[in-house]
Each structure stands twice: as structure tokens, then as C-alpha cells.
Amino acid sequence: MKPVDGIPKDEDPQNRIKLLRDQVARLISRNLELERQLEDLKRAKADTGIESLAGTVVRSVQSAQQAMADETPGGLRYVVSELETTFRGILLQVEDRLVLRLPLPENGVRPGHLSTLRMSLAQVPQSVLPEAASKLSTALERAQLLFSGWTRRAGAKIAGELQVLLTCLLATPKPWEGEGFVRNMQGLAATIDRLSITLTRKKPPRVRQGVRGPTGAFLEMTKRLRQEQALQAEDAENLAASLEGLVRRLSAMASVGV
């Protein structure tokens, strides 16, 4: 029999057996530790942070939008406005981070023991740009100036209501960022529409259509605004242009008594 490393060959057989057992025990212990470390490495690779999942989804959406832009002729633009996705795994807190641990096939985790992580992503529209905001402020100020100096008896009461509405809107430094902006604009448009009805009640159809058409369009424009969505630059510019046109028409009516 060949001597075992670390065990003298002239040692008593009982001592040799004891030393062999001790050596085997150390090897088994070392092997178990290596297996434990390997399992830890597997788990670390299977753990995915929630922020990493969200970042991956966002990058995928951006790539999809770029692909749609490349495939769409004529300058049309499409966006993925909302996306909902679901992940299955084991939710754990690891060092103050929430991670999703993907089950390893060899562990045989039952589906009923897995957690469900649902992630909903929606695009946040760009807030109104300074130039568009300036145009809207100017249009509101000109409307306020018109109704504060309203001299005609017809529509005088409604003009007073409009002056109050516009004063409230302009009292806020950035009215389009306030929670009640959409509601206030819809109220403003509805009141202007009432004024146009009063002013054109006994007028010829051509005159009624020339005033009621634009006021109705302005009212419909405000109805399409969404309370929970930030005002976009395009909406602000359209509102400003429409209101400017209404102010010119109503100012002409007030000055010539049409």
C-alpha cells in the first residue's frame, strides 16, 4: 500500500485510520463550502434589480420607437404611449434593494410559490415650451383687456364674468401648470360661447356663423384637453391662436356695433 500524503507509513494502523478519517472530513467540509459558494454565485447572477428591469423596458421602448420611425415614410411619427409587462420570480430585499430572483431549473420551484411583478410605464408629455407659453399669456391678457373695457349693453354681464375668469387665470404666474387650468379654460370657452350667442341672436346667418363658428371651435379645443396631462406646446399655440382670433372678432363687433 502506498503511503497517504501527510500520514507516516510507520504509524500505528489505528492512528492511520483516524488520520484518514480526519482528512476525509476536511475534504468533505471543503467540498460543501465550495458548493455553497457556487450556489451563491448562481443566485447573484439570477437576482435582477427592479431599477434594472425598468431601465431595460424603457430602452426596449425607445428602440421600438426608433424602428417605427425608420420604417414609416412621410415623416409620420408613432410612439409607444403606454406599456404593461409582467415578471414572475421570487421578490427579495437584498441590501436595501428590491430584487427579482429568477428560479433556477434545478431547484424545481412550484409556480404557486412565485411572486408576480407587474410594471406599467407611460410616457410623460413634454411640458409647454416658453415660446408657446408666452403666446398663450399674451392672448389671455388681450382678452382680459377687451372684456374689462366692454362698453356695449349687449353682453355686458357676460363680459364681466369673462373679466373675472381671466383675472383668476392670470393671477397665477404660470396658469397652464395649475391643477385647475383645463377646467378654467373650458369655463372661459363656454362663457365666450354664451357671449357670442347673445351678440348674434338677431343677426343675419352670415354674421352668426362668422362668430359662432370660431367660438364653438375654441370650446371644442378646450374639451379635448386632459386634466391629468401636462399642457403641450402644440396645444398652447393652438389655444393662443384661436383666442387671438376670437378677441379680434369680438373687438370688431364691440367697436362698430355689428
Here the cell at position 120 is 406599467
Q: Are residues 65 and 175 in the same domain?
A: no
What's the rounded Cα separation, in Å, for the pair 158 and 156?
Answer: 6
| Overall average pLDDT of the 90-110 stretch | 71
Q: Are residues 104 and 19 in the same domain?
A: yes
Q: Are residues 99 and 194 in the same domain?
A: no
Q: Are residues 98 and 205 in the same domain?
A: no
* Residue numbers of the domain that contains 235: 130-256
pLDDT tens for 154-203 read 888 999 999 988 988 887 767 676 667 888 889 999 999 999 888 888 78
pLDDT at residue 40 greater than cutoff 70:
no
What's the rounded Cα separation, in Å, for the pair 15 and 21?
Answer: 10
Q: Are residues 59 and 160 in the same domain?
A: no
Q: Are residues 65 and 160 in the same domain?
A: no
| Total of domains in the chain | 2
Residue 6 forms part of a structural domain: no
Which of 101, 122, 143 marks a domain boundary? 122
Residue 21 forms part of a structural domain: yes
Q: Per-residue confidence at 1, pLDDT binned at 50, 70, 90?
A: very low
Residue 36 forms part of a structural domain: yes
Q: Per-residue confidence at 32, pLDDT binned at 50, 70, 90?
A: low
Residue 57 CB partners (closer than 8 Å, separation 6+): 83, 85, 119, 121
Q: Are residues 116 and 139 in the same domain?
A: no
Residue 185 forms part of a structural domain: yes
Q: Are residues 148 and 112 in the same domain?
A: no
Q: Per-residue confidence at 22, pLDDT binned at 50, 70, 90?
A: confident
CB 68 within 8 A of CB 78: yes
For position 209, which CATH number holds? 1.20.120
pLDDT tens for 105-145 read 655 667 777 778 787 777 665 555 578 888 888 999 999 99
DSSP structural state of residue 11: S
Q: Per-residue confidence at 6, pLDDT binned at 50, 70, 90?
A: low
Which of 122, 151, 167 marks a domain boundary? 122
Evaluate the CA torsion angle 180, 183, 188, 191 in order and state its sign. Answer: negative
Q: Are residues 170 and 223 in the same domain?
A: yes
Q: Per-residue confidence at 88, pLDDT binned at 50, 70, 90?
A: confident
pLDDT reported for residue 114: 77
What's the rounded Cα separation, in Å, for the pair 72 and 132?
Answer: 28
pLDDT at residue 257 greater than cutoff 60:
no
CB 95 within 8 A of CB 57: no
Q: Per-residue confidence at 72, pLDDT binned at 50, 70, 90?
A: low
pLDDT reported for residue 124: 63
Which of 91, 122, 153 marks a domain boundary? 122
Residue 8 forms part of a structural domain: no
Q: Are residues 185 and 250 in the same domain?
A: yes
